[in-house]
A and B are shown apart, each in its own frame.
Chain A
Amino acid sequence: MIWTLAPILIPLTSALLAMAARGHPHMVRAIGVTGAILLCGAGFGLLWAVENQGVIVLQAGNWPAPVGISLVADLLSALMVTITGIISLAVAIYSLRDVNRNLLKSHYFALFHFLLLGVNGAFLTGDLFNLFVWFEVMLLSSFVLITMEGKRQQLEGGVKYLVINLVASALFLSGIGILYGKLGTLNMADIALRLANTPDAFLINSSSILLLVAFAIKAGMFPFFFWLPASYHTPQVAISALFAGLLTKVGVYALIRSYTLLFNSQFAVMQDVLIVLAGATMITGVFGAATQFEIRKILSFHIVSQIGYMIMGLAIGSALALAAAVFYILHHIIVKTNLFLVGGLIMRKCGTSDLARTGGLYKWAPGLALLFFIPAFSLGGIPPLSGFWAKFSVIQAGLEAEHYALVAAALLVGVLTLYSMIKIWAEAFLKAKPMDSRAPAENAPGPNLHWTLVVPCVILALLTVWIGLAGAPLLNLALATSEQLLNPEIYIEAVLNPPIAHYEK
C-alpha cells in the first residue's frame, strides 16, 4: 500500500520543500536530487511489490471503489513509474549544470517535481476524472518550465503547446462528461464493466473518439503532432529531455489503458482507426525529421515517428504486440531522453544547434561520439542495442497478425530513422567544423564538460546496452504486462472486489 502512495507523495513533498527553500541554491539542489533518488527507489519498490502481490489497489480516504478515487498499480503502471524514477534522477543530475542558475535558485526544481507528480499520478490513478486532473498538473508545470526563461522563442513554443493541449483537455473532459452522464461512474474499472454490458453504440463510439483525439494530441500522434516539434526545442536541454522522455508517453499510456480496459469490449471497432493512425504517425514523423537541420528538431520529429511504433503494438493487440509496445515505451524513454541530453552536450561543445555549423566533434571529443553513437543507433534499430529488440518484436507481432502494410511502413521508417541519425553523426562528428568568421567564438571546441553533465548520459547509455545484451528479463516482464492487459478482469476484480480484510480495519 505504501508503495502506491510513495511515487505521488515523494515528488509532492520535494516540490513543496524546494518551494520553501527557494533562494538557497545549495538546499534547492540537494532537495531536487534527493527527491529524484527517492523517487527512483520508490519506483523499484513499487515494481517489486506488484511483481510479488499482483495488482495493488489503494482506496484513497477508505472510500470503497466506484465511489472514491482508487489508485491502482498493475505491472504497466509500475513499469512506467519505475522508468519515470530513472529518468527523473538522470535529468535532475544533468540539470545541476545545465539549467540557468537563476532558474535553479528559484522554482526550477519545484516545477520539476510537480511535473513528476502529475506524471506518476496519471500512471497510478484508477479514476478517469482524476486522470484529467493529473494531466492538468502536468500541463501547468510543463508550460511554466518551457517559458521560464521568458525568451521570445520559448514563449512562442510555449503558447502553441499550451493552446493545443488545452483543446485536448476540453475534448478529454467532454468525453468524460458523456461517459459520466450515461453511466454515472468515473472509476475506470467500473466504466469498463458497464460499457461491456451496454448496447449503446453511440455512447461508446462518441466518448471513445473524444478520448482518442485527446490522448492522440497528448501523445503527439498524426495528425495532431505539430505542437511537439514547435515547442520541444525551445526550453533548456534538461527540460526538453524530461519532456521528450515522459510527456508524450503519458498519452500513449492513456491510450493503452483506454483500449485494453475502458473500451476493451469495443476494441475491434477502433482497431482499423488505430492501425491507420499508427502508420501515418510513423511515416509523417520520420519525413518531418528528414527535412530538419536543427538537432533537437530532428529528435522531436523522431519522437512522433517512434510513437507510431508504440501505437502499432497497441493497434495489433495480440499478446506479443502489446508486450512489444510496452518494451518499446521503456526502451524509447531511456534512449530519447539520452539523445536530448547528448544533443545538449553537442550544442555546448559546438556553441550551436544548427547542424550546418557543427562539426569536428569526433576529433575534439571521441568520448562524446561514443556517447551519441549508442542511443542514436539504438533508436535506429541496430543490433544488439535495445532498439533492435523493440523494433524486432513489434514487427514480428505485425507479421504474425498479417498486417503487412503496417510492417512495410515500420521497416521503411526504421531505415529513414537511421538516415537521420547518420545525418547528425556525419554533420556533427565526422565533417570538419566550418570556420565562421562572424562567430569566431564557435570555432574552438567548447569548454570541458562537467561530470554532472556526462554521468547521466553514461548511465542511460549503459542501460541501453544492458537492455540490448541482456534484455530477456525485461522482455519477460513486458510479456507478463501484456498478459495482464489482455485480461482486464484482473484489474477490474482487484479494484471493485478487494479482499474483505481491506475494509474491516
Chain B
Amino acid sequence: MPAAPLLQIATRYLAPILAVLSLLVLYRGHNLPGGGFIGGLLLAAAILLVAIAEGWDVVNKKLPVDPLTLLTLGLGIALLSGLPSLFFGQPYLTGQWLPGLELPIIGKVKLGTPIVFDLGVYFAVTGFTLKCANAFAEES
C-alpha cells in the first residue's frame, strides 16, 4: 500500500524526535511529570508513526524484539527492580539510590531502582501498545 509521501517525510523527522523525547520523559519522571508510562506511549507513538507511513512489514523487520517479548521483559524488569531492597532488610520496592553523580553538561544525576522500575513500565507499555495496534492492523 503506497502511503502519502508527505507523511513518510514527516515521519522520517518526527519519529526519532519522539523516541528521544520518550527517553527524556522517562528519565525525569521520578520527580517531575512524566515517567515510564508516558514515555512508553511516546515511544509506541513513534513506532506506530513508522508503521502507518511505511507499513507493518518494515516495523516488524526493524524491531529487535517482538512486542510480546518486550511486554514480558518490561514486567520482568519492574518485578526485579523491587528485589534489591529485600537484601537491605527493607520492604519490597523500597527505592535504593546510588550516590548522586556530577556529570558535565547534564548536571546532577541520581540513579536508583525507581528508574529501573520505570524502565520496566516503559518497555511494558510500549510492548502492549504495539501488540494491540498490531492485532487490530492484522484484522482489518
Contacts and interface: CB of A to CB of B under 8 A. Distances in A.
Residue of B71, B85, B91, B94 ringed by the most chain A CB atoms within 10 A: B91
Contact of A16 (B75, B88, B92, B94): B75
Contacts of B69: 20
A505 B75 contact: no
B91 A60 contact: yes
Contact of A60 (B71, B88, B92): B92
Interface residues of A, number: 16
B95 interface: yes
B95 A20 contact: no
A425 to B, nearest CB: 46
Contacts of A20: 69, 72, 76
Contacts, number: 38
B93 to A, nearest CB: 4
A5 B95 CA distance: 17
B60 interface: no
A9 interface: yes
A16 B91 contact: no
Interface residues of B, number: 17
A5 B79 CA distance: 12
Given A9-B79, A13-B79, A62-B85, A19 B91 contact: no
A19 B76 CA distance: 11
B93 A505 contact: no
The dominant DSSP class at the A interface is helix
A505 B72 contact: no
Contacts of A62: 85, 90-91, 93-94
Contacts of B88: 505
A20 B85 CA distance: 26
A19 B89 contact: no
Contact of B89 (A12, A13, A58, A505): A505
B52 interface: no
B19 interface: no
A59 interface: yes
A66 to B, nearest CB: 16
Interface in A1-40: 1-2, 5, 9, 12-13, 16, 19-20, 22
A12 B75 contact: yes
Contacts of A19: 68, 71-72
Contact of B91 (A1, A12, A22): A1
A2 B68 CA distance: 30
B94 A61 contact: yes
Contacts of B94: 61-62
B119 to A, nearest CB: 16
B66 to A, nearest CB: 11
Given A19-B68, A20-B69, A59 B91 contact: yes
A61 B95 CA distance: 7
Interface in B68-88: 68-69, 71-72, 75-76, 79, 85-86, 88
21 contacts: A1-B91, A9-B79, A16-B76, A16-B79, A19-B71, A19-B72, A20-B76, A58-B92, A59-B91, A60-B91, A60-B93, A61-B92, A61-B93, A61-B94, A61-B95, A62-B90, A62-B91, A62-B93, A62-B94, A505-B88, A505-B89
Given A1-B91, A2-B86, A12-B75, 4 more contacts: A19-B71, A20-B72, A20-B76, A22-B68
| Pairs of residues from A and B, 10 with the lowest C-beta to C-beta distance, nearest first | A62-B94, A61-B93, A19-B72, A62-B91, A16-B76, A60-B93, A20-B72, A505-B89, A5-B92, A59-B91
